[in-house]
C-alpha cells in the first residue's frame, strides 16, 4: 500500500503526522506524491522537512504526474497525459536535483 501525503494543504506538520501514521499504524510500503502542488514543485524548500522524514525512514516514494500550473496556456488543446504528464515529471525531478 502506498500512502498519500497531504502536501498541498500548506501544513508541513500535517504531512509529518501522516508519514508517521501511515508508516507506523497502517504499515504503508511507501508514499505517493504528485509532481506539483498548485504549481509548487518538489524541490521547493517548504517540502524539505517532509523529504527529511521520508529519508530518515528510507521510504520508497512514487511520483505521479499531474497537470502543471498554467496547463490551459501550454496544452495546445491536448489532454494532460499526452504531453504535459511526462514534462511535469521531468520538471519536478530537475527541480529536486
Predicted TM-score of the model (pTM) = 0.85
Question: Domain residues of the chain, as ranges?
Answer: 2-96
Phi, psi of 9 (to 5 degrees): -90, 5
Q: How far apart are CA 36 and CA 73, in angstroms?
A: 17
Round to whole Å and give the CA distance between 72 and 25.
Answer: 40
Strand stretches in 1-97, DSSP E: 2-4, 30-34, 36-37, 40-41, 60-64
pLDDT at residue number 69: 86
Contact 51, 28 (CB under 8 A): no
Tens digit of each residue's pLDDT (9 = 90 or more) over 52-91: 999 999 999 999 999 888 888 888 888 888 888 899 999 9
What's residue 72's pLDDT?
A: 84
Note whether 52 and 46 are within 8 A (CB): no
Q: What is the reported pLDDT for 80?
A: 81
Note the pLDDT of residue 27.
96
Amino acid at each position: 500500500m502506498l500512502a498519500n501525503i497531504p502536501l498541498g494543504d500548506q501544513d508541513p506538520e500535517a504531512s509529518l503526522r501522516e508519514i508517521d501514521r501511515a508508516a507506523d499504524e497502517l504499515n504503508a510500503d511507501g508514499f505517493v506524491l504528485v509532481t506539483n502542488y498548485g504549481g509548487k514543485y518538489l524541490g521547493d524548500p517548504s517540502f524539505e522537512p517532509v523529504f527529511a522524514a521520508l529519508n530518515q525512514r528510507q521510504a520508497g516514494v512514487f511520483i505521479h504526474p499531474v497537470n502543471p500550473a498554467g496547463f490551459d496556456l501550454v496544452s495546445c488543446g491536448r489532454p494532460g497525459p499526452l504531453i504535459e504528464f511526462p514534462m511535469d515529471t521531468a520538471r519536478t525531478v530537475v527541480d529536486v536535483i
